[in-house]
Amino acid sequence: MIDQGMWKTDGRTPAATIYSAIIREIKEKGTESRFAKTERGKFTVVK
């Protein structure tokens, strides 16, 4: 996501920052989230 320019972060651990943001969005938005968890540590984009 970062390499493709889809996400920007100033965090020291970009992967952990993205993971946290995705988990937070799923928790807050539920079925309206742009992401879905497919298995431990893996996500998919919901269309």
Kindly report the pTM of this predicted structure.
Answer: 0.76
Q: State yes or no: pLDDT of 45 exceeds 80.
A: yes
HEC string of the chain equals CCCCCCCCCCCCCHHHHHHHHHHHHHHHHHHHCCEEEEECCEEEECC
For 10-28, how does the pLDDT look when each residue is reduced to its tens digit (9 = 90+)? 878 988 988 999 999 999 9
Could you tell me the residue ranges of all domains in the chain? 1-47
Alpha carbon distance 13, 34 (integer Å): 22
Count of CB atoms situated within 10 Å of the CB of 36:
13
